[in-house]
Homo-oligomer: A and B are copies of this chain.
Amino acid sequence: VEPPERRRPPTVADIARRAGVSTAAVSYALSGRPGVAAHTRRRIRAVAEEMGWVPHPAARALHGHGVGVVGFVVAGPERLFGVDTYHFRLASGMMRELSAHSYDVVLHEAAGVHEAAALYRRWHAERRVDAVFLSTLRYDDPRIEVLNELGMPAVVYSGPDVGDLAWIGHRKSDRPAMAETVDYLVGLGHGRLAYVSGPLDMRYVTDRVDAFTRACRSHAVEQSTVVTGDDRGDQAARITRRLLSRPGRPTAVIYNNDIMALAGLAVTTELGLDVPDDLSIVSWEDSSLLRLTHPPVATVSREVASRGGRAGQALLALLAGEPMKGALLDPVWLLPDRSVGRPGARSAS
């Protein structure tokens, strides 16, 4: 057996020599731009094909062409990596769309939005990516500023209010879905509702909180509670324990994500309470985890990967230079399941 040597791949010069033309002719022929006769083009392409030629991206990048890479920085907090799968699912959908067009996706974790912004600067200086995707917008998000300053092509997952950057998102963020969820619970007879939220510096969280509060007020529910969570399951468990062990405990709880809902469900069961008779449980952003629990948990939104796919399409449009300002995602709604019912149904019947 021969030693596995990295064979030197053929260059345009090799092709030019073999085809008996100049490297410029090869370049024009291969790029598909006018400048060579049709038959010359055919011949050059045949030679290139035969020699297994593939363009060297570094050489192309030197001429201002893209490097064929899109970056996605997941901005902390660090303790969530590998627990909350939300961003990975988003990335997964995005990758599928982009890789079909030969784009690679660089995934990066940053401890926070400032670290993410610093990374954008480095990526820009080193020309490592052609565009970035950005999600989970904060208030006064420093990333937006930096991207605008650098003139770095970007798609932001948010509402239509991110300055000049392109975006995808829902028309009124998560407000309509939250309002509808509260309507549904109230319609079932729930009078004491709680929302265990995510961190309040996230814009989508305050949107949900606000919609929750408004909807509860408009229905004049007996009691509405918002508890600020940190998206972690163990904290959600502690919060749930506290909520359920006080008098006038809620009859329905909405959790910010599936890990939290899972933890809430476990605590409820452990306390000897029944779901949904004693407590109805609703979650957001499910990863299909909650269809495996007993009982399965109702969730507002599931198809995270498909939203990542839409992000990928938006990025492709942007990179192709197409006019691309914003794209609305399909609205999400509560999908009821056995974790939700009329309060006290068992004891009542």
Contact = CB atoms under 8 A, between A and B. Distances in A.
A189 interface: no
A294 to B, nearest CB: 4
A57 B128 contact: yes
Contacts of A124: 6, 9
Contacts of A122: 54, 102
Interface string A154-177: 000000000010000000000000
Interface in A217-234: 233-234
Contact of A292 (B58, B82, B237, B304): B237
A67 interface: yes
Given A57-B127, A88-B85, A234-B291, A149 B4 contact: yes
B6 A151 contact: yes
Interface stretch (A42-50, A266-274, A310-318, A324-332): A266-274
A4 B259 contact: no
Contacts of A348: none
A276 B148 CA distance: 57
A315 to B, nearest CB: 15
Interface residues of A, number: 70
A335 interface: no
Nearest to A87: B88
Nearest to A67: B58
A293 B234 CA distance: 10
A13 interface: no
A325 to B, nearest CB: 13
A164 B1 contact: yes
A103 B3 CA distance: 25
